[in-house]
Amino acid sequence: MNETLRHALIRARLHPVDVAACLAVDPKTVTRWIAGRTPHPRHRLAVADLLGVDEGDLWPEDCRSRRGGSLGEIQAVYAHRWTVPAEVWRAFFQSAQDEIGILVYSGLFLAEDAGLLRVLTERARAGIRVRILLGDPESPAVAARGTEEGVGPDVMAARIRNALALLQPLQEVEGIEIRLHQTVLYNSIYRADDELLINLHVYGTRAPDAPVIYLTRSEIDSTAATYLDSFENVWTSAEPAAHRV
């Protein structure tokens, strides 16, 4: 039992259902936190802000393990992309206050998620910049990646075209811009302000089966900053996708 969290909720006159509503999670999830389960890093920060206390007071052991060096940037590691819960993806993008960025080849799993597309639309309408980079289906890099994943170049190109079709309504939303790139990607990058989900690309392994690393930029010269710079470099050389659907 996390007695510190339980007492903080009592002092704030909040019930688990209140916290769940604020964080867009299931009330049972909050109950499990009170019972002693450690929340996702982003949720820990959100709970601490909601209760007006320091995150380290609620989860001291976890916060101590995150301090010091570049290891402090790593918030979580998922063995496979498919093990990242849907609520983590939505909470991740929903929390952005300034910018959302997506750099992938197809990102079809996101384009097929109507709830997540709704989140991107809502954040854009709230004034947050949303930039999405998909692979150019006609580029050699896309063909090569399809071969590397074992699905073939035509399948990878078809996935991108499907994603473009599903994302078409977003191109009508002010604040959302979609571009096509011809870059060789060593990772897929998902950005919410200074926090990143990095889906590693592994030769012979499909992206859903490859690991995902959750990073938070903690300093200027950092691992996360390297990925953020990579995103900007690809964005600069990419072309608008409006005429390619």
DSSP one-letter string for 28-52: HHHHHHHHTPPPPHHHHHHHHHHHT
What domains are there in the chain, each with its CATH number? Answer: 3-67 (1.10.260.40), 71-240 (3.30.870.10)
With a cut of 90, say whether residue 57 has pLDDT above it. Answer: no
Mean pLDDT of 50-56: 81
CB of 66 within 8 A of CB of 44?
no
Higher pLDDT, 40 or 12: 12
> Using CA atoms, how far apart are residues 135 and 160, in angstroms rounded to an integer?
7
Mean pLDDT of the chain: 86
Question: What 3-state DSSP class applies to 162?
Answer: helix
Cβ of 44: how many Cβ atoms within 10 Å?
20
